[in-house]
Structure 1
Amino acid sequence: MSLPIYQHINVRTIQLEDLKNFLNRDMNSKHPVAINLKHLDLDQQREMIGLIENFFSTNNLSFKFPYPVYLVMDQEKTITQMPTVKMLEELPRLFNQKETKMNVKESHLLGRNKLLQQEIRNADAEVTQGAIQNYGTIHRKVFELEKERLFYRSILNRLVKASKNG
């Protein structure tokens, strides 16, 4: 078993055979993927993005989990819902580790992680994505309420301090 480090895929042509080589159901189940579209011109990049998104939606897969699929491209981020970067250096550093030999504890944790990944792969991608979005929305609401509470607390402390001094 290997650590989850980026699998880099360089796309040089927009032919169907090339797509079949790297697009498969398990492409992001073991490690994050960075698909480099920089070798294509802008129109071909746009077409390839559509084909990749179509692959994920028709197969009811998620490009966000178990590991994310990143697009390295020159296009604007607004044309796709997939995570995008302009250069490879902008990819999250979490998965930019050097491959080393794992100790026993890490190997055991990676084995358990494999079971969880299998569960995620068997789950419905839309339902899971909806649950994650709902979870994030609730946490953003809690954060905003806590920020508001701290604001009112600071005003109250200033008023109490002013009434003691005044």
Structure 2
Amino acid sequence: MKVVNDILEWLIQSGALAVLVFFLWGYAKPLLTAKAKTAKTEQSRQLWTLAEQVAKTGVVLAEQAGVTNYLTSEAKKSKAVAYVIAELKKLGFTMADETTIASVVEKQFAESKQEIETAYPQKAPQQVAQEQADVEAQKKDAELKQTQADLTATQDKVTSLM
């Protein structure tokens, strides 16, 4: 045990231990820096992959909204981007850049353009207005039928009272 203590004391007093620590730090620091950079790159890669998957869903939802309402391309894009950012935040990715997400959404729109246009044809403003007018006409027709039924019931009551 005394020999080990003597060796340690000599290393400390001679400065050899400090040189050894300095040498090891010089060797380990680049390895640790590279490891941190690799981890950040891997996290970015995971974010990008996940954003692409979520963007597919966001694009489909935006196109569905475009079918029921007349939405411009920019409105669909912003709706899809907002969806992707919200989903990524739910999954814990808070470092998502809106510009990056917008480019992922644009890529998904471009890749699935043919399928989307076939499945969800875009309505013209006139079609939306016509559909709204049809719905209003159906509501008025239902109200008229209800009023007529109420009138008939009231007339039957009056007749039965006489």
Shorter-chain TM-score tier: 0.3 to 0.5
Given the two structures, how large is their TM-score scaled by the length of structure 2? 0.32
The structure whose residues are more often helix, as a share, is 2
Instruction: Tell which structure's C-alpha radius of gyration is larger.
Output: 2
